[in-house]
Structure 1
Amino acid sequence: MSGANFVSKLLDGVAVEWTVLGDERFLEVANAERRPVKASLRISGEVPYYGANNIQDYVDGYTHDGEYVLIAEDGSSSLESYSVQYASGKFWANNHVHVVRGKQGLNTKFLYHYLRVVDFIPYLPNKDRAKLTKGEMVKIHVPIPCPGNPKKSLEIQAEIVRILDSFTELTSELTAKLTAELADRKKQYSYYLEQLLSFEGGEVEWKTLPEMSLDFGRGKSKHRPRNDERLYGGNIPFIQTGDIRGAARIITSYDQTYSELGLKQSKLWPKGALCITIAANIAETSILGFDACFPDSVIGFVPDPSKTSSAYVEFVLQATKAKLAEKGKERSSAQSNINLGTFEQLKLPFPSLVEQARIVAILDKFDAMINSISEGLPREIELRQKQYEYYRGLLLSFPEPEEEVA
């Protein structure tokens, strides 16, 4: 039986009674126990301290004990996907959340899942600001399936909770598994990076980057004012430091472009050149996937193919990044910066081209695995989230009340 058919059978012929969050037959509003505490006055402990969107701290003591749903009173990070949290056991709630729970006839976890599909915007007095008063909150509609048979109603609610929780648990398990695998691969990569680039005696020559290049130097900054619009808007890629930090090994996209005027005041570096940052995050690297300009906060390295490659130098710089960062801190306590001279004098190990290619091939495989997991993790999580939302829609799409619920 397909998922959709199973849901249809579960809800086949089931009537629904609509009530509101203020209906004391089914719900309890436990706002009176809430208590905000400034961070400086909180006593550290193991009890979660809830704010509008998440757990803000862990404290000693608690305001509530049991199974509750927390609805943002103000400060929800999103209006369209309004902040609704589930809390169980002992917890501390501050005054930025409404605290509610189901009584007999209403499963609190069912209430949590349902409230996640509610459009809260109509209940906000000022539609562009997340301020949900208690007076408005208690008007929010809540469905009670099969109201004439309380036992069957709770069974249906529990089954809906079981199905939706299973998707949440699958997402958590998958996230934990892929995160652990990513951490293992990064450890392996770091190990092999260190081992493969640890040379002894006559295995290598120690050379500077200028000695191994066809071109080496800083990018050129604009001589005109930075905000001169005539410098921009053409079809010449202009790479900024933000495009390099944390970027893929090869830069394939860009946001900024130069005009011909901008190019005249800069320098065009060829595809395949290695870009190296020398400010803020030191020695972040990426290889140009196209001809481009970049500012003087970036060093360009065009390898002499008879001596080395951009890929090899990139891996070597990754292995020495920590030492370079320490040098940057020694030069400036306010911000890590290294000048061109540091890289001009830096001696790096260069074995034969054959050995360089072997090292690059090994490290490329680890890099590809890490990127595959890093890219796959958000995709898998998104897929599971969509599955959850699909079934949540099937299970919680009850016919709307024809008239206002009292």
Structure 2
Amino acid sequence: MGIIGSDGEKLKELKRFTLRALREFGFGKKSLEENIKEEVNIFLDFIDETNGASFSLDEKVNVSISNIICSIVFGKRYEYDDHKFVKLMKILDDYISNSTLTTILNFIPNLRHVPGDIFSAKKVLSNQKEIEDFIQARFDEHKSCFDSNNITDFIDACLREMETRNETSITESEVRKIIRDLFIAGTQTTAACIKWFILYMIHYPDIQEKMWREIDSVTNSNRLLSLNDRSKLQYCQAVVDETLRISNTAPLSVLHGASNEIFFKGFRIPKGSVIVPNIDSVLMDERVFSYPEKFNPERFLDKDGMLHGTEKNVAFSVGRRACMGESLARMELFLYLTALVQRFKFLPACGKDPPPKIKRILGLQFTPAPFMLKVARRF
């Protein structure tokens, strides 16, 4: 069920409806920029409050990014000290990090009878229930005060669809699954990218400075950059693409299927087979990206310093199941990353100590191991 779990005609209908409804509330449009900037400012203020002391990003960046999709889907945002929502962010992290182990049960289901919880299935199901209970509560709130003449968010649009159309795949069960997909995908991957960016900036201070010089050439005031500035910030855009590539947050794409028998490079793939595109095999391929373990934005610039070769960056997957949220994620990353470098220098937590290790934790996505840092204010 939902966008990720459906296929065929049902998937087409769900995607058409979901994109149409999301666009009502600015999804993929420049009109969403002000909402993102509001969250950027709050996030910058949180970092400011550290006053040069060591700190961890923890779930704060998750809350910040989640608030953007929450404002579209639920019509509200959450404060950083909202204990229930902060707890939900921790549950979401736990759900993502433990889900890899459970995958084996999809293929060898009898292993679920092994005593204990060595494949984390019970933990994942418990986390999933808490996430879905949160979504159900938001859905019930909207049902109790629904007004078809006052559609304010995605859930309202779903309720309107269910009320006005007799034959539709948009049922309450489907809506809950679509919201789950949007909520998880709209939070975790972009938040992880921002954590990776900050970690790499600590390792590559020269890239921080080059970004800042380009930003300073566009505005020497403290105004936040806008999407209108993108064409003047070619290097910063290349940093966004390199962050997406090297963070490699979704190394395996969502499940695809063979609608017909396929013969490929000497292999027969039967009709109905499950196919999992390996995004990592492209993003970390030396034939596509030289020295792929090195953070190098110049790989996305031509000899004139203009953005180039971004079509090789398949971080948002490929084909009909490519990520619907690419435009939103790119907006968020550009506005967050430029604002962070505009205001702060990112430094190791303890003076001249070496930067934190670049260590990947694999769940449903690659996330950086938790790390401490500190910042110096630029202005």
| Range into which the TM-score falls when normalised by the shorter chain | under 0.3
* TM-score between both structures, scaled by the size of structure 2: 0.21
Higher strand share: 1
Which has the bigger relative contact order, CA under 8 A and spacing at least 6? 2
TM-score by length of 1: 0.20
Higher share of residues assigned helix: 2
Answer with 1 or 2: which has the greater Rg.
1
